[in-house]
């Protein structure tokens, strides 16, 4: 758990350690950020680890995004995307074992196959994935027209939340739709729905239209190294970064989110390295101007690379240097001129707090939505409208 001192700065000064409610006294003082480490079995705090200081914090906890106060988000809404997830019992029979998984196929890449599915079942899908594990798990994007034609949706409504409201969904037809799609695409027969925690057939239908992305990928957050110092004295800057779904949520059905997740991890690693090579030496020399210039440069490089992430395609990524730590070896369009353009725009990312900390995401995702996002991979700029 990150120390609250890092997530939300306290104003004011404590009188002494005996009367202070800030946990920094238990951490011990010194440069860098701190975290709380607790033994998962005993619940006891590991004081040795809790006293360790670190210079970089990387948020990789998906949509939850513990660091949300430092990373405002923007919402993209693309064309309507209706997802269906379904789990079926895996009996481990010969037919179950022989079934071939579908790692992810989209209509644009296999139109003949999807048209045959429609001709046989009147089911129109944009894409589908199938994984075989403890259950047979399917996730697919269905067209609104086919859901209406098959009677899954009772009425065509303009508002998405009303269209997909439980009152507008024929549950029995939804089960038939999901089973027919699963059996046709996998070759499995007589599939039986697995039961969810409510002992109901494990099938769900939900809106997959909204995608959230962080407005910035990095921050240099100023933190006090002791709560007993007034104002900005005894403070330092900690590099904060986001990767994976915390940075850019995946979107079904385009199929590039896993790759972008790896790219963002490499981008974060490169930025952390640059922080160590440029910022920390200036800090050790106690040269505030050089340290500020170095922070601006490191953040400008990170933000200029982040602008390219959502636009990545196989054509503009270098295949032979995909795993290189250097962004210029991975992104064909990344240049120093892009850094120059971004440099004047990153100074607000340095300091104690943002001008207006953003609220957390407005809703919790269902378990089915989380599983569907994990089974899929991301979004391209062509699919989204800001």
What does DSSP say about strands 218-224 and 350-351: parallel, antiparallel, or unpaired?
Answer: parallel
Q: Is the dihedral of CA 103, 104, 109, 115 positive or negative?
A: positive
The predicted pLDDT at position 315 comes to: 80
DSSP string, 199-218: SSB-EEEEE--EEEEES-SE
Are 160 and 101 spatial neighbours (Cβ–Cβ below 8 Å)?
Answer: no
Residue 4 has pLDDT above 80, yes or no: no
Between 103 and 375, whose confidence is greater?
Answer: 103
The Cα angle at residue 135 between residues 134 and 140, in degrees rounded to 5: 135
What is the mean pLDDT of the segment spanning 102-118? 91
What is the mean pLDDT of the segment spanning 306-326? 84
Number of H helices, E strands in the chain: 15, 11
Are 243 and 287 spatial neighbours (Cβ–Cβ below 8 Å)?
Answer: no
Are 269 and 325 spatial neighbours (Cβ–Cβ below 8 Å)?
Answer: yes
Which strands make up the sheet holding 203-207, listed edge to edge? 102-106, 125-132, 135-142, 82-89, 203-207
Question: Any alpha helices (H) in the chain, and if so which ranges?
Answer: 4-7, 24-27, 47-50, 94-98, 111-121, 144-149, 160-163, 171-186, 244-247, 257-274, 280-284, 288-309, 327-330, 336-342, 367-375
What is the mean pLDDT of the segment spanning 62-77? 83
Q: pTM (2 decimals)?
A: 0.67
- For 196-235, the pLDDT digits (tens) are 989 999 999 988 777 789 999 999 998 776 655 554 456 7
- For 156-182, the pLDDT digits (tens) are 999 998 999 999 999 999 999 999 999
Q: Is the dihedral of CA 182, 183, 184, 188 positive or negative?
A: positive
Phi, psi of 87 (to 5 degrees): -115, 130
The predicted pLDDT at position 375 comes to: 47
- What are the distances in angstroms from CA 280 to CA 74, 234, 339, 346? 32, 16, 21, 19
Residue 40 has pLDDT above 80, yes or no: no
pLDDT class for 144, splitting at 50, 70, 90? very high
């Amino acid at each position: 758990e990150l120390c609250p001192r890092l997530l939300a700065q306290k104003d004011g000064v404590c009188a002494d350690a005996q009367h202070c409610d800030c946990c920094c006294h238990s951490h011990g003082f010194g440069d860098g950020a701190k975290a709380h480490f607790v033994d998962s079995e005993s619940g006891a705090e590991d004081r040795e680890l809790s006293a360790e200081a670190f210079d970089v914090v990387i948020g990789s906890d998906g949509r939850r995004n513990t660091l949300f106060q430092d990373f405002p988000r923007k919402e993209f809404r693309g064309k309507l995307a209706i997802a269906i997830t379904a789990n079926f019992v895996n009996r481990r029979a010969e037919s179950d074992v022989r079934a071939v998984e579908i790692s992810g196929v989209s209509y644009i890449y296999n139109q003949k196959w999807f048209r045959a599915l429609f001709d046989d079942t009147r089911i129109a899908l944009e894409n589908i994935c199938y994984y075989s594990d403890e259950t047979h798990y399917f996730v697919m994007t269905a067209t609104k027209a086919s859901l209406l034609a098959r009677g899954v949706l009772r009425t065509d409504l303009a508002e998405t939340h009303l269209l997909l409201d439980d009152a507008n969904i024929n549950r029995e037809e939804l089960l038939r739709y999901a089973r027919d799609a699963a059996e046709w695409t996998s070759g499995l027969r007589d599939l039986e729905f697995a039961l969810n925690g409510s002992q109901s057939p494990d099938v769900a239908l939900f809106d997959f239209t909204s995608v959230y992305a962080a407005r910035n990928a990095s921050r240099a957050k100023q933190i006090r190294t002791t709560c007993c110092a007034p104002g900005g004295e005894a403070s330092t800057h900690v590099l904060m970064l986001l990767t994976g779904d915390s940075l850019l949520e995946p979107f079904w059905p385009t199929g590039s989110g896993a790759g972008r997740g790896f790219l963002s991890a490499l981008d974060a690693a490169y930025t952390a390295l640059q922080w160590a090579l440029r910022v920390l030496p200036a800090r050790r020399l106690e040269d505030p101007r050089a340290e500020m210039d170095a922070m601006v440069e490191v953040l400008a490089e990170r933000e200029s690379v982040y602008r390219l992430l959502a636009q990545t395609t196989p054509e503009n990524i270098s295949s032979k240097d995909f795993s290189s730590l250097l962004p210029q070896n991975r992104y064909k369009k990344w240049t120093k001129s892009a850094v120059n353009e971004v440099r004047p725009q990153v100074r607000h990312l340095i300091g104690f707090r943002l001008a207006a900390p953003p609220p957390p995401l407005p809703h919790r995702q269902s378990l089915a939505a989380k599983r569907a996002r994990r089974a899929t991979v991301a979004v391209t700029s062509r699919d989204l409208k800001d």
